[in-house]
Amino acid sequence: MYLIIHSAFYKKPPLSAVYTRIFKVTSTIADLEDSDSIESHHISEAVQYRMMDRGCFRGKKLTDVIQKYYDNCMIVFDSSTLILLAKIDMLELFVNDLSGKILIPEKVKRESCDVSAIEVPFILKLIEKKKIKVSHVKGKKEIRKLMDDFHLDSGEAEAIALALQKGYKIIATDDRNAIKACRLLNLDFITAISVLIRAYEKKVIGKEEALAKLERLVSEGRYSKKIINDARARIKGGN
């Protein structure tokens, strides 16, 4: 693994601290995939993240790269990330800061809004203001195939099907199986934690608020300790 990481930096062997950080990120990626071992594609992805942190994209900061990634794009949400962001009072902040648009399938709207939960009015308000657009998904067979192939619930399957039908490349999901499906289908994905970190790095929210919101995500129990610890270190100033 050392040689693979070294080859990504070309000039000199990485310092032990850098090597350790990349290894931690690699382990997190493998953990997300429920992989029993670390594969080469896990390492490659971790190195890319590290290079972004080191400002290897034409001298731009990570926040600049992420902003360009989000600008003028359509992001399809499933209910997991939609609800989580609403729970930590980040959904409206994210929507208002986004130059592109947010799309959800009809099934995701039902999953998110046809319940008695404190976050429902916030989601409905954004839908009524057309900040979040609800769209019909075609192809029941395609949706069923996604559900069967990737062990997805109908909401996650409809979100992925909608992205594929519309030609959009970004899915917002915190569902583990949906993340696996995105990787295999060559779809990029974001999670509630990545949105939170982005907001902090852009100074939309302060450090204490970001840490408090992270703890609220911890209480939902959706993330591994590695992911939470990495996010906490990033907010506190670690790499």
pLDDT of amino acid 41: 62
pLDDT grade for 220, boundaries at 50, 70 and 90: confident
pLDDT of amino acid 152: 96
The sign of the torsion formed by the CA atoms of 90, 209, 51, 35 equals negative
Angle at CA of residue 56, ends 32 and 60, nearest 5°:
105
Nearest alpha-carbon partner for 181 in 206, 220, 129, 145 = 145
Q: pLDDT (tens digit, 9 = 90+) per residue, 69-112?
A: 555 568 899 999 999 999 999 999 888 877 668 899 999 999 99
Spell out the CATH class of 65-192: alpha beta
pLDDT of amino acid 53: 47
Give the C-alpha separation, 65 to 67, whole Å.
5
Give the start-to-end residue ranges of the domains of the chain: 2-56, 65-192
CB atoms within 10 A of CB 6: 15
**Would you tell me the crossing angle of helices 79-87 and 192-201 to the nearest 10 degrees?**
50
pLDDT grade for 201, boundaries at 50, 70 and 90: confident
Q: By three-state DSSP, how is residue 171 classified?
A: strand
pLDDT grade for 187, boundaries at 50, 70 and 90: confident
Indicate if the pLDDT at residue 126 is higher than 60.
yes
